[in-house]
Structure 1
Amino acid sequence: MTSTLKPTLGTIHLWGIAVGLVISGEYFGWSYGWGVAGTLGFLVTTLMVATLYTCFIFSFTELSTAIPHAGGPFAYSRRAFGETGGLIAGMATLVEFVFAPPAIAMAIGAYLNVQYPHLNPKYAAVGAYILFMLLNILGVKLAAMFELVVTVLAVMELLVFMGVVAPGFSMANFVAHGWAGSDHPGVAAVSGIFAAIPFAIWFFLAIEGAAMAAEEARDPKRTIPRAYIGGILTLVVLAVGVMLMAGGAGDWRRLSDINDPLPQAMKMVVGEHSGWMHMLVWIGLFGLIASFHGIILGYSRQFFALARAGYLPAGLAKLSRFQTPHRAIIAGGLIGIVAIFSDGWINLQGMTLTAAMITMAVFGAIVMYVMSMLSLFRLRRTAPELERSFRAPGYPIVPGIALVLALVCLVAMLWFNPVIGGLFVAFMAVGYLYFLMTKKQRARAPRDAMLFGE
């Protein structure tokens, strides 16, 4: 059976994947940052993280067009730093893309629970896994078209949200108690800014996943840059707009530790029984679905690429008759479902399951960002022959800013989340042990010219 993916995606599909992967971050998750930093502190965190992502995407696009490989960061780091470099980036990306979906699935359950109070959010989350794994198995073109439609609807819904709550917006509401430790701001405010990093990253987490569809893109050297640049601009505008409008709708402290902040913010302005309120709950699901569905596509391609290169069992690289990596799709789904049902018997630093899954996913993302920027610098020196149809603007300053900010975020994450950081290191260590035991498996893997520079 073939292990080659079929190129069928254009610019608009890739934009839909890039934005869709991320857009659930505008619907939930970020408001946990208010709980630790306050609205003003979290705004500072968000602007810092937005700078990181803007510099990162403009730099990452050079890699994704020069090496259009389903492994994305795994392929870039493997080419730059050899097998061990590929392992670090590949495992980190896998952690990011496997642990983000359970958080989103639980948010889908929470949104449905608003309409159906007797529906168990966990069962709704598992149902979402089954439905969207099946859709991904049926073909990438179908999956990408669905992703595009729900992404456009999700963007429109966020604009509707901002428009509906705008009449009730008050800057006084937004700035009230705006800093962590607002009675005695200072050290607490600075500490809160850094503690909130994972929740600001959630605004943009996984946009890099569109690179994992590079092998399925038509003319990736042209379509990927357009999709990424359009995507990051779309997301920055939406993130700042949604956060400001929600925070100014009323007492933001009522929104800081819940999975459905937008419906609750709208309720403050239009009331619980407004038609706008029910529309947001239903159409708002599209934002969660877009990210959930897109990240399933992303994690499956990462499993596929690692397995094809011999870093994971070869069976995960098998393709279905629809030319999709069905075994990889199912494997990630099973891990996610186990994570959902771990809620209640695993307690990580006193966090909710959603906050813990977000934090774990962010650890994977930050390590991957660091490896990707290091790969960019190294490949500029060691592989000048690569065809770079898009070159990082402002090199080396722009990728340097992305690298420095990523390292700052990583240090802050480890400082404020030592338990989850330790668990992340344990996952990476298990991956490394498997790596050491499977050298022959990698030697038998098909030769990949992109990984070996041939």
Structure 2
Amino acid sequence: MNNNQLKPTLGTLHLWGIAVGLVISGEYFGWSYGWGIAGTLGFLVTTLLIATMYTSFIFSFTELTTAIPHAGGPFAYSRRAFGETGGLIAGMATLIEFVFAPPAIAMAIGAYLNVQYPQLDPKYAAVGAYLVFMTLNILGVKIAAMFELCVTLLAVFELLVFMGVVSPGFSFSNFVANGWAGHDEFDGAAITGIFAAIPFAIWFFLAIEGAAMAAEEAKDPKRTIPKAYVAGILTLVFLALGVMVMAGGVGDWRTLSDINDPLPQAMKMVVGEHSNWMHMLVWIGLFGLIASFHGIILGYSRQFFALARAGYLPQSLAKLSRFQTPHRAVIAGGVIGMLAVLSDGLFDLQGMSLTAAMITMAVFGAIVMYIMSMLSLFRLRRTEPHLDRTYRAPGYPLIPAVALALSLVCLVAMVWFNPVIATLFVLLMMIGYLYFIMTKTQRENAPQDALLNSD
């Protein structure tokens, strides 16, 4: 096999496991930071808005994934639609999303382990998680995908158990108390909170699009990917709303905001600190974090690989190991992530914790990528009407337009409420652009890829 060609080995269930597994940690932590900004009711409004955006986005994005099954995902679609510069914007944004999400998840893994082992430093646990799951990703995509499917199924089951166990302690009055940005009145502060909490509602669904990066490794992608994506987004919307509402109704939700382990703490209110249910939640709950962590490592490595193969990054990152996995790409993203984890507490990022800052940075990358993907869908419909589209976005052009419009609203709100992180995001994009203009020859000498060109 060519040493820069990935091998198709994944079926529909594997792809569903990747799509849901990439995201499912968002049901375990991260979203409760939105409560601290918007309150439970305000954040529920934000979540419904973002769920609408993601559902319309996935139903539209799937058309691109099946028509252009490429490891670069959004990079490939935007390059084909808008040329090299368009590919750079989407590729860099996707890379930022997938490189900065894992440190947040790794820190949550450390926080969950710290519940069981208070003497364990969450930073060292996070670095250990990187080393273990980087290794697993290097050993082969079939092994990685099967592991991802197993831990995802366990994580989904465990979230259902959580909802069932806390349901006797649920009270709607608890959920709505102080529900508008920390008080009972719907006013200007509540509206501001709804928009300021956008990054943490996006965290419920962030990275589902990463399954597109496994498209080259999918068997019959034109048939398997639509099934996996549609089932995946429906699974995640149900779990996100169920977990958030049930957790918010078991007591004073304000004690659960701004922490990395809201589910164990919510369950503690109902069953007590020493219940077997609590121990089960912590240990099985780790599977949800691990599923996303492991899956996003797969996603960032494929993005590094695709950009390097096309000459947008050093071509050494496109080399495959004897297991036919992009091992150097896995290591590159892991080194960045571990440095981010170890820097926790060294910088002041708008007063945010490392977890909140990493989530916000990842969301900036995601939103820019969503905008580029929807623009690519519209452009390719016009410029390549005869492109083989075995799946077409339903309700075109309305459904993709909804996804695009809501993505633009999110981007404006993100910049308004997070100017420091926005500046850092722009700086990273500019560094990517400087490398881009300095390496034209490298791109010209890269292997030709028919999926990146309309010719």
TM-score when normalising by structure 1: 0.99
Counterparts of 1:310 and 1:303 in 2: how far apart (Å)?
A: 11
Q: Secondary structure at the match of 1:258?
A: coil
Q: Does 1:440 align with 2:426?
A: no
1:171 deviates by: 0.2
Deviation string for 1:311-350 (max 9, x for gaps)?
A: 0000000000000000000000000000001111111000
User: 1:9 maps to what in 2?
Assistant: 10
User: 1:385 maps to what in 2?
Assistant: 386
Write the mapping of 1:52-91 to structure 2, written as runs, cut at 5 A. Answer: 52-91=53-92
Letter in 1 for 2:379: R
Q: Secondary structure at the match of 1:334?
A: helix
Write the mapping of 1:143-292 to structure 2, written as runs, cut at 5 A. Answer: 143-180=144-181, 182=183, 185-292=186-293
User: 1:404 maps to what in 2?
Assistant: 405
Q: Secondary structure at the match of 2:143?
A: helix
User: 1:335 maps to what in 2?
Assistant: 336
Counterparts of 1:52 and 1:237 in 2: how far apart (Å)?
A: 15
Q: Secondary structure at the match of 1:238?
A: helix
Contact 2:36 2:182 in 1 (8 A): no
User: 2:453 maps to what in 1?
Assistant: 452
Q: Secondary structure at the match of 1:180?
A: coil
Question: Which range moved further: 373-382 or 173-182?
Answer: 173-182
Deviation string for 1:27-67 (max 9, x for gaps)?
A: 00000000000000000000000000000000000000000
Q: Does 1:123 align with 2:117?
A: no
Deviation string for 1:346-394 (max 9, x for gaps)?
A: 1100000000000000000000000000000000000112100000000
User: 2:45 maps to what in 1?
Assistant: 44
Q: Secondary structure at the match of 1:412?
A: helix
Write the mapping of 1:86-125 to structure 2, written as runs, cut at 5 A. Answer: 86-125=87-126
Counterparts of 1:368 and 1:185 in 2: how far apart (Å)?
A: 33
Counterparts of 2:186 and 2:208 in 1: how far apart (Å)?
A: 34
Letter in 2 for 1:31: S
Letter in 2 for 1:392: A
Counterparts of 1:163 and 1:83 in 2: how far apart (Å)?
A: 50
1:219 deviates by: 0.1
Counterparts of 1:386 and 1:214 in 2: how far apart (Å)?
A: 17
Q: Does 1:137 align with 2:138?
A: yes
User: 1:370 maps to what in 2?
Assistant: 371
User: 2:308 maps to what in 1?
Assistant: 307
User: 1:414 maps to what in 2?
Assistant: 415
Counterparts of 1:307 and 1:35 in 2: how far apart (Å)?
A: 40
Contact 2:177 2:184 in 1 (8 A): no
1:264 deviates by: 0.1
1:181 deviates by: 5.1
Deviation string for 1:134-155 (max 9, x for gaps)?
A: 0000000000000000000000
Deviation string for 1:171-219 (max 9, x for gaps)?
A: 0000000001526541100000000000000000000000000000000
Deviation string for 1:235-288 (max 9, x for gaps)?
A: 000000000000001100000010000000000000001000010000000000
Q: Secondary structure at the match of 1:393?
A: coil
**CA RMSD after TM alignment:** 0.7
TM-score when normalising by structure 2: 0.99
Contact 1:181 1:188 in 2 (8 A): no
Contact 1:10 1:223 in 2 (8 A): yes
Counterparts of 2:11 and 2:189 in 1: how far apart (Å)?
A: 47
Counterparts of 2:270 and 2:308 in 1: how far apart (Å)?
A: 50
User: 1:423 maps to what in 2?
Assistant: 424
Counterparts of 2:41 and 2:407 in 1: how far apart (Å)?
A: 22
Contact 2:370 2:407 in 1 (8 A): yes
Unaligned runs of 5+ in 1: none
Q: Secondary structure at the match of 1:208?
A: helix
Counterparts of 2:134 and 2:318 in 1: how far apart (Å)?
A: 16
Counterparts of 1:198 and 1:238 in 2: how far apart (Å)?
A: 18
Letter in 1 for 2:334: G
Deviation string for 1:83-134 (max 9, x for gaps)?
A: 0000000000000000000000000000000000000000000000000000
Q: Secondary structure at the match of 1:337?
A: helix
Contact 2:155 2:288 in 1 (8 A): yes
Letter in 2 for 1:87: L
Letter in 2 for 1:167: P
User: 2:318 maps to what in 1?
Assistant: 317
Contact 1:204 1:235 in 2 (8 A): yes
Counterparts of 2:294 and 2:182 in 1: how far apart (Å)?
A: 38
Contact 1:96 1:364 in 2 (8 A): yes
